[in-house]
Amino acid sequence: MNRPTIVIAFRQLINAQRTAAFEQTMLRLSYQEFLLKSQAYNPEGRYDRFTALVKADGRANSLHYKTSFAVIPLIEQLNGRIPLLKDTFEKPLPFERTAFELVESSISDFSLHAVALTYYTPPLLLLESFGGFLLLSADVEQGSEPFMLQVNPNLSITSYQLPVMAEV
């Protein structure tokens, strides 16, 4: 097949308004880790908000990475499936890797804690696009049963590769 391959990123914003068990656990674990790790950059408790802390001490930007360690076991429980990104038959798409982001937090108010988890799919064969839908195949080499994915605002194509043409 002479079709491009794409990688899709899906960003899941998780804050106190979210009610799913996975999201609440993600918030609780990451907040506890944030409170612990942020002390190194804020020993006197002078800065209440994460964004203020980063502005005052750029090294605090490493809290994205440091806070993510607390949620790795939770992400592993997803078994490589994106819970909120499903094809038109309600089958969740696979992911190969994730990126964790600490959007905002407060050392005094849990309700202000917000994180984002971005999931990245393995390369997918882009067969066609029409309307707000993508026709995709998971097997880039052989092609496999295609599936439809509806485009939404939290979805982005992060890699687009045209096939290499063989010389004749």
State the pLDDT at residue 144. Answer: 75
Domain boundaries, the chain: 5-161
Q: Is the pLDDT of residue 88 over 70?
A: yes
State the pLDDT at residue 140. Answer: 64
Q: Is the pLDDT of residue 55 over 70?
A: yes
The model's pTM is 0.91
Q: What is the mean pLDDT of the chain?
A: 94
Q: Return the beta strands (E) in 43-122 as ranges.
A: 81-86, 92-94, 97-104, 114-120
Q: Are 99 and 71 in contact (CB under 8 A)?
A: no
Residue 112's nearest CA partner among 53, 57, 153, 39 is 53
DSSP class of residue 17? T
Q: How confident is the model at residue 139 (pLDDT cuts 50, 70, 90)?
A: confident
DSSP class of residue 49? B
Q: Are 113 and 30 in contact (CB under 8 A)?
A: yes
Q: Is the pLDDT of residue 1 over 90?
A: no
Phi, psi for 158 (deg, rounded to 5): -100, -10
Residue 64's nearest CA partner among 97, 44, 22, 34 is 34
Q: Is the pLDDT of residue 142 over 70?
A: no
What is the percent of the chain with per-residue pLDDT over 90, rounded to a whole number? 89
State the pLDDT at residue 164. Answer: 78
